[in-house]
């Protein structure tokens, strides 16, 4: 194998296969005949991507045709590269089908969707005891993860700060359905062993959660040592100096893959009624029993959802959260359609009213 434009191999970058590669991708790639190879995007820069290929890391820009088609690879993508040995370069010519797709700002119709990362299998939603443990916020994150197609796992961090976490875990499990809820302390490393079943060879994981919940601490505690040693992205610039790129995709010792980047860290609710339906499957299931097909579950007669709330089967706060997330999606689509700034004001008014009602209802600040 030649080593043109390949980075120096820092640690065990001697990959024989592309991390996360599978038979389905092999089939997709087989449509390409000729000097094409596959790779996986490890980091995205302004004009080029760092791409893992068997044997190392290369940099490649996207082809003109892809640019014109508005196709932009993101971290985690499997791509097809044109290998132009004669001019010492690789060009990204296609993105192989994405299994999952983490996006923000979607209107649900895909028009202004901004994809942040692709092909993540499992997303750890990190929250922490104390102020951050907000069930409504968790519903929001669950919606994001379901929309992406990845499997959610909820982590309650900083468990060292409470005496008896049982109730917190139960409350969280109540809104989480089948989603695993795991109590951990990134600081004392308590419970970290329970994450292992979700980190499997050739599977890709990522963390989301608000600022301060302990994502960096967890990465250092759980992935840290492993990550420092692997996939150090070092490149030689043309003067032979090393430049360090921001790492975004890491290989774990068991062959698992971990993706971390600022876009994922900053993700907010973006997407798709599909995610809402799954997060609130209790409500959408009940809605089948409403008399009116277009029931809004607010004040229609014979509303099965309202009935369940009155019977105490569904907490009012959960229904409010459902309303809020649904309204937010509608808002995003309206905004995209009309491009009106004025809607922003309407939104903030509605949200602050919603928040006030929530406070009145729960007595929580
Ligand atoms: N008591 C306790 N503190 C923790 C734990 N994990 C993290 N912290 C503390 O929480 C603070 C925030 O942790 P970070 O790891 O920086 O949080 P983050 O989620 O990465 O925050 P951003 O970088 O803003 O996204 C730090 O002071 C940590 O030391 C834990 O398990 N227990
Ligand atoms: Zn109804």
Q: What is the 3-state secondary structure (H, E, C) of 71-96?
A: CCCCECCEEEEEEEHHHCEEEEEEEC
Is the C-beta atom of 213 inside 6 A of ligand 1?
A: yes
Which ligand is in closest contact with the Cα of 284?
2
Nearest to 136 by CA among 175, 99, 189, 169: 175
CB of 102 closer than 8 Å to CB of 120: yes
Q: What is the Cα–Cα distance from 95 to 211, expressed in whole angstroms?
A: 32
Alpha-carbon gap, residue 28 to 264, rounded angstroms: 27
Distance 279 CA to ligand 2 centre (A): 17
Among 159, 207, 208, 216, which is best to mutate for testing ligand 1, by the most ligand atoms less than 8 A from CB?
A: 216
- Tell me the two tokens of residue 8: 């120096």
Q: Atom of ligand 1 at shortest distance to CA of 161?
A: 1
Question: pLDDT tens digit string along 110-130?
Answer: 445 688 999 999 999 999 998
Q: Residue 265's pLDDT band (boundaries 50, 70, 90)?
A: confident
The domains located in the chain, with CATH, are: 23-95 (2.40.50.140), 115-265 (3.40.50.300), 273-362 (1.10.40.50)
159 CA → ligand 1 middle, Å:
12
How do residues 173-230 score in pLDDT, each as one tens digit? 998 988 999 999 999 999 999 999 999 999 999 999 888 899 989 988 887 766 654 4
- pLDDT score recorded for residue 262: 83
**Tokens 């970290």, located at residue:** 192
How do residues 35-77 score in pLDDT, each as one tens digit? 999 999 999 888 899 999 988 889 999 999 999 998 999 999 9
């Amino acid at each position: 194998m030649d080593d043109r434009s390949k980075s120096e191999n820092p640690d065990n970058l001697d990959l024989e296969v592309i991390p996360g590669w599978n038979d389905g991708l092999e089939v997709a790639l087989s449509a390409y005949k000729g000097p094409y190879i596959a790779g996986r995007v490890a980091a995205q820069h302004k004009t080029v991507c760092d791409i893992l290929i068997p044997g190392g890391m290369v940099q490649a820009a996207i082809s003109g045709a892809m640019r014109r088609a508005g196709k932009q690879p993101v971290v985690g993508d499997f791509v097809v590269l044109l290998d132009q040995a004669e001019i010492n370069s690789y060009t990204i010519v296609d993105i192989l089908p994405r299994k999952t797709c983490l996006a923000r700002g979607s209107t649900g119709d895909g028009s202004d969707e901004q994809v942040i990362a692709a092909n993540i299998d499992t997303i750890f939603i990190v929250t922490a005891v104390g102020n951050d443990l907000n069930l409504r916020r968790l519903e929001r994150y669950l919606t994001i993860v379901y929309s992406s197609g990845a499997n959610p796992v909820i982590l309650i961090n900083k468990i060292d700060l409470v005496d008896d976490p049982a109730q917190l875990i139960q409350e969280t499990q109540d809104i989480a359905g089948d989603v695993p809820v795991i109590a951990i302390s990134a600081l004392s490393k308590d419970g970290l062993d329970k994450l292992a079943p979700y980190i499997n060879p050739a599977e890709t994981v990522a963390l989301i959660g608000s600022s301060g919940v302990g994502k960096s601490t967890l990465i250092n505690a759980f992935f840290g040592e492993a990550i420092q040693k692997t996939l150090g992205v070092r490149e030689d610039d043309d003067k032979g100096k090393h430049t360090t790129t921001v790492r975004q995709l890491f290989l774990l010792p068991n062959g698992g893959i971990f993706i971390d980047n600022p876009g994922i860290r900053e993700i907010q609710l973006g997407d798709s009624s599909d995610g809402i339906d799954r997060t609130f499957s209790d409500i959408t299931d009940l809605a089948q029993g409403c008399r009116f097909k277009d029931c809004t579950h607010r004040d229609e007669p014979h509303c099965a959802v309202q009935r369940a709330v009155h019977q105490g089967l569904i907490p009012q706060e959960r229904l409010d959260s459902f309303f809020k997330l649904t309204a937010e999606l509608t808002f995003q689509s309206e905004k995209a359609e009309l491009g009106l700034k004025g809607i922003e004001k309407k939104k903030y008014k509605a949200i602050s009213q919603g928040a006030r009602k929530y406070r009145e209802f729960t007595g929580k600040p």
